[in-house]
Structure 1
């Protein structure tokens, strides 16, 4: 089935439009009431008030779903260009469902094409007088959907492959994107070859994808049942094609090595070093034998596969469950971690021997952090999703600059009551999705983030996130 992706028309998405943490906006249904900044977890809607999306804060914003909610998804690397900056965009994904009955689950392989949007300047090039501003504002309100989406409607083309039980996590191999690994709540880790489905989607120019309304029965290349429980931790090596690690809820981590053909050898002896469930895994961007893990026991462990089945280093990272980690591929000494208490930290691994690796710690979110990922294009930027229904983007290189902030507000003639206590590193706040689960930056489209939640997917490109790279490619 082909689904048209409509721009969000309900006034539910919140955002933050400046670098210095302006927060989201809410507006009253009474025209005379001024626009106010909405502070999630602090403010409450009064009678007659509603939250509204400010479309000018996005270069592109689209929402879609593929049926059942998806706890996990991954962006599939394609051959359309390494750095793509011009609309419309086309992207490929794999996602695993959380269906009501185990037999109803599937892995969706899908293409979203004609993703439209606009580029905007962060500040106006010329100041406008009050009359012009009022006129422009009125026009903007009338065609806000067109401003966010541009011309045309994005199209979703979908193919489904049956999966035993719910999909806890799914990851596509970077070097061979048609190869994907899935972690199921049945306790099995499976590896799939989706080349036929991706090829069919790539070749299809029609508005109907063959087989999208049905579910393909396809056998996995490998089905591993050696874990003692289900799990969520899964990561392909960025340096060794086909090398994989999987971790379960019984604290065990297994190493997968590719062999000749489409087969893998899974080491039956697990890596043991955590006292509780292994929640996430990340390979080092520079050391092919090194990976990191995090756990419900509050620790992060660093492993070297050449040194046996115990951690090379382990340290207390948070006071509660460490749900997710992300290894920075541009600043490879930095590791980010997100906690069940809503906090997230940045660790400098060069400081491990000194006993305290934390170089930054944030307590903005008040509910569990569900996903965290460094930008593939900006070393100081990362995105975080939380169970508080917020997706936040942070630039750790920012510091509060009173003069710059005043100048920006003067240029934009900003009239909102921006909170003063937001961290200066908070670059953007996106809301409107219920129970956010996972996010990913698109490695080939600078500035694009995709997120999944209980009510479907969002593709967003905030207007204050760099969407082009310097001319030298740095």
Structure 2
């Protein structure tokens, strides 16, 4: 795999320069781009040598945008230190408000949901990527929240079903298959006592979703009922993110302002399965790998993305390794220079990410395979896998 690097007027500290100088030993790909302030990013195109990513940008006086960039993974080894030659604008839409989070519809990548700093959500249907004016797309407004929000997620089983959440303490469910310039929610949940930070559908169950909030709880809902079916006091401070395992239907990970990443089996919530402890500040995002059942990534206020291998929970460490961190912490990404608001695992390319930070940097990076230890058949998850198969 090729090693790519691009920089445009990015201010480096001494630590980040050290990372830059040594990154070729750990990464196959590093592509950096200076953009507007971005809180969200996701892979848009998932195959081929030309990859596309989508970000929500605040370009200050130049406006707010939903932008799609494309870049190539098939070039020779390049260290491009000036300009944006490795990124090309594929599509962009100017919006009235800042984009807090973007989610691409799983069954149709040309349909994009985003939630804005006003709490309003938008459904953007790209009709013609070659046209950047109103003829190139249609837009539907989802007006129901009365405060800003970050959580938005598509149902993987029921096409067009969308969940949103916001600081108005509400979770709203939308049927985006309905027609109109504006849609009303088809159901509303008001179970949290504080702002709701994140919501996610269970990829294994079309009727189930989870949410986390500033009331320190993780709640599980069933759309066939009027209230939550499970309530867990999950952390000591605000819970900012949750992720369902794509491999095990009862496994969830949460991340909190208390600096802890927590693993849960929702069949038995009397105690956590495990606490992953190494972050030095608030955690804003947690996410299971789509390719490996053992891997979890987390990011936050400490400007790092940590990659965890849960198969190594319980391993003994000696000497220098014991000083670095717990055995399940297998890599620390330090390429982003400020608070990392969001990252996204590539759905088909192992160990490949896109991430954005408060330094106005969009980063695409892929770890060398030998950096990730392949020990998925031992320890914690091997036991857990047997437990799930017996149920």
Aligned partner of 2:292 in structure 1 is 378
Normalised TM-score (structure 2): 0.83
Aligned partner of 1:84 in structure 2 is none
- Across the two proteins, how many residue pairs are aligned to each other? 364
Structure 1 residue 401: Cα displacement: 5.7
User: Which whole-Å CA distance do the structure 2 matches of 1:156 and 1:281 have between them?
Assistant: 32
Residues 372-408 of structure 1: per-residue CA shift (max 9 Å, x gap): 11100100101111211111111010157669x89xx
Aligned partner of 1:364 in structure 2 is 278
Aligned partner of 1:187 in structure 2 is 119
Are the aligned partners of 2:142 and 2:182 in contact in 1 as well (CA < 8 Å)?
A: no
User: Which whole-Å CA distance do the structure 1 matches of 2:241 and 2:30 have between them?
Assistant: 26
Structure 1 residue 363: Cα displacement: 2.3
What RMSD, in angstroms, separates the aligned Cα atoms of the two structures?
3.3
Residues 202-242 of structure 1: per-residue CA shift (max 9 Å, x gap): xxxxxxxx86xxx7697753112221212111000111111
Aligned partner of 2:385 in structure 1 is none
> What are the equivalent positions in structure 2 for 1:70-81 lying under 5 Å apart?
70-78=38-46, 80=47
SS of match in other structure, 1:232: coil
Are the aligned partners of 1:176 and 1:241 in contact in 2 as well (CA < 8 Å)?
A: no
Asked if 1:275 is matched to 2:243, the reply is no
Which residues of structure 2 form unaligned runs of 5+?
A: 377-391
User: Which whole-Å CA distance do the structure 2 matches of 1:155 and 1:95 have between them?
Assistant: 13
> What are the equivalent positions in structure 2 for 1:5-154 lying under 5 Å apart?
6=6, 52-65=21-34, 67-78=35-46, 80=47, 89-100=49-60, 104-114=63-73, 116=75, 154=86
Aligned partner of 2:389 in structure 1 is none
SS of match in other structure, 1:424: coil
Are the aligned partners of 1:161 and 1:217 in contact in 2 as well (CA < 8 Å)?
A: no
Are the aligned partners of 1:255 and 1:266 in contact in 2 as well (CA < 8 Å)?
A: no
Are the aligned partners of 1:259 and 1:265 in contact in 2 as well (CA < 8 Å)?
A: no
Off by >4 Å, runs of 4+ in structure 1: 7-15, 115-118, 215-220, 260-265, 399-403
Structure 1 residue 350: Cα displacement: 1.8
Are the aligned partners of 2:42 and 2:354 in contact in 1 as well (CA < 8 Å)?
A: no
Please say which structure displays the higher CA radius of gyration: 1
The change in CA–CA distance for 1:381 and 1:230 in structure 2 (over 3 A counts) is same
Match of 1:426 among 311, 329, 348: 329
Aligned partner of 2:372 in structure 1 is 465
Aligned partner of 1:46 in structure 2 is none
User: Which whole-Å CA distance do the structure 1 matches of 2:15 and 2:265 have between them?
Assistant: 32
User: Which whole-Å CA distance do the structure 2 matches of 1:91 and 1:276 have between them?
Assistant: 39
Structure 1 residue 155: Cα displacement: 3.4
The change in CA–CA distance for 1:385 and 1:195 in structure 2 (over 3 A counts) is farther
The change in CA–CA distance for 1:268 and 1:114 in structure 2 (over 3 A counts) is closer
RCO comparison, higher one (Cα < 8 Å, 6+):
1
User: Which whole-Å CA distance do the structure 2 matches of 1:384 and 1:221 have between them?
Assistant: 32
Structure 1 residue 59: Cα displacement: 1.7
The change in CA–CA distance for 1:444 and 1:13 in structure 2 (over 3 A counts) is farther
Aligned partner of 2:213 in structure 1 is 295
The change in CA–CA distance for 1:117 and 1:61 in structure 2 (over 3 A counts) is farther
SS of match in other structure, 2:351: coil
SS of match in other structure, 1:423: coil
Aligned partner of 1:410 in structure 2 is none
The change in CA–CA distance for 1:386 and 1:53 in structure 2 (over 3 A counts) is farther
Match of 1:160 among 92, 106, 109: 92
Are the aligned partners of 1:441 and 1:449 in contact in 2 as well (CA < 8 Å)?
A: yes
Aligned partner of 2:361 in structure 1 is 456
Structure 1 residue 62: Cα displacement: 1.6
Aligned partner of 2:142 in structure 1 is 224
Normalised TM-score (structure 1): 0.69
Match of 1:250 among 147, 168, 171: 168
The change in CA–CA distance for 1:239 and 1:264 in structure 2 (over 3 A counts) is farther
SS of match in other structure, 1:221: strand
Structure 1 residue 100: Cα displacement: 3.0
User: Which whole-Å CA distance do the structure 1 matches of 2:168 and 2:185 have between them?
Assistant: 16
The change in CA–CA distance for 1:166 and 1:217 in structure 2 (over 3 A counts) is farther
Are the aligned partners of 1:59 and 1:461 in contact in 2 as well (CA < 8 Å)?
A: yes
Are the aligned partners of 1:111 and 1:156 in contact in 2 as well (CA < 8 Å)?
A: yes
Which residues of structure 1 form unaligned runs of 5+?
A: 16-24, 27-49, 82-88, 119-144, 201-209, 407-416, 470-474
